Amino acid sequence: MQTSAPKIRIRPAQYDDIPFIYSMVKALAAYEKEPDAVLSDITEYYAAFESGLIQGHIAEMEGEKVGMTVFYRTFSTWKGVTLYLEDFYVIPEYRQHGIGQQLFDAFVDTARQMGCRQTKWQVLDWNEPALRFYEKNGAVIEKEWWNGKIYF
């Protein structure tokens, strides 16, 4: 007897998805060994989403939310319009079903539909599964640029 593959649906994030997105960002921060680094609160997420500052996708498997992306449009003075992938997370027990690939493909498709010249994101140097995933998708992982920040 053959079992059918789980039904996966990728859809644009909606206002009602903000609590799920916020919880996934916190889960991602914990995974990245920075559980206390999320200083923004959910009201900022609502405002950013409502104003169009951020967008995203939601992955559902069998009707349950299991992953998400958060991204925004920006501009590179060298390359042009860019879609920046701020966060990308699939709940660990739902990995290995192709959900991450479908979410990433939806992000890339959105960038193309928006007329972007490139996509960008950050990945931690110790996150080997993520590095392999991005390289498998043809990404260039820049190792010569360092991040600069000023916290207020």
DSSP 77: T
Q: What is the mean pLDDT of each run of 10 residues along the chain (152 residues)?
A: 77 98 97 94 98 98 96 97 97 94 98 97 93 94 86 84
Domain-embedded: residue 44: yes
Q: Is residue 2 part of a domain?
A: no
Query: Is residue 1 domain-resident?
Result: no
Would you state the pLDDT for residue 116? 97
Question: Is 63 a domain residue?
Answer: yes
Q: Residue 82 is part of which domain span? A: 8-136
Residue 11: strand pairing partners: 58
**Please, what is the Cα angle at 130 between 98 and 97, to 5 degrees?**
15
Q: How many domains does the chain have?
A: 1
pLDDT of residue 151: 82
First-to-final CA distance of the chain = 59
Catalytic residues: 134
Q: Given this model, what pLDDT does residue 3 score?
A: 60
Is 71 part of any domain? yes
**Is residue 150 assigned to a domain?**
no
Asked whether residue 148 is domain-assigned, the answer is: no
Entry pTM: 0.91
CA-based max dimension of the chain: 59
pLDDT in the model for residue 98:
94
